[in-house]
Amino acid sequence: MHRFIRPEYCDGPFFLTLTYMHRSNIFFDEQWNVQTVIDLEWACSQPVEMQLPPYWLTSRSVDGFTDPESIAELDGLLKEYFDIYAEEELAQNGHLYHTPIMRHVWQSGSFWYFQAATIPKGMYLLFSEHVQPLFNKEHYEKSIFDEVFWWYWRVDVKDVVEQKLKDKEKYTADLKRAFGVEEPIAAVDVAIKLEENIGT
């Protein structure tokens, strides 16, 4: 946490944030003036460091930055975005406040941390591709992290996983009976991997 959240912003300021903001939720007129913003039901107050620059300038999903070229593309667009944002901020407020914070969030890697924390469907890939390598690139390239870290999810994690595997086995058997399937339905790779880990 301390690597990504600076102490001076822990107690604020907090800003109303449109957390589901992307280009398909913004409507413009023919002169590119913003007319309407939709999907406001997810708006909430967040720390200033979570006022993140838009990754969707590249037309990629948040978990679509998996190679140096895509990250370089985003970096170039964000530099341009920061410059324009700074001009607007100076014109409106007479001084810069938000722009330097956004630049720091991007350059420090906090950008990926906050995206992972707020977008569940992209969390694992964002962590693996962008957050974990900041701490240990070797773990990112090996399976040791996945084999060890899951034990620390909770104290009785082994019991929970074993019960989940039993539940899935029962569910699979129930499906077979319901649909008259004779051959067993193959277990998902994740379940097999967890079962192997438990046995070691």
pLDDT 10s digits, 159-168: 988 999 999 9
Percent of the chain, pLDDT > 90?
44
Residues 97/102/105/108 CA torsion (nearest 10 deg): -90
User: In whole angstroms, what is the distance from residue 51 CA to residue 3 CA?
Assistant: 17
Beta pairing, strands 26-28 & 34-37: antiparallel
What's the pLDDT band for 148 if we cut at 50, 70, 90?
Answer: confident
d(C-alpha 130, C-alpha 165), whole Å: 30
**Gyration radius from the chain CA atoms:** 22
Task: Show the tokens assigned to 56.
Answer: 């969707």
Joined tokens for residue 80: 């341009």
CB atoms within 10 A of CB 113: 22
- Cβ 154 vs Cβ 160: under 8 Å: yes
171 by Cβ neighbours in 10 Å (0-12 / 13-18 / 19+) ranks as exposed
Buried b (16+ CB within 10 A) or exposed e, 20-38: ebeeeeeeeeeeeeeeeee
pLDDT at 192 over 80: no
**Model confidence over 100-121: pLDDT tens digits?**
999 999 999 999 999 998 888 8
C-alpha triplet 66, 72, 76: angle, nearest 5°: 140
pTM: 0.68
One-letter amino acid for residue 93 of the chain? N
Which residues sit opposite 47 in a β-bridge? 14
Reading the block at residue 70, the tokens are 């895509």
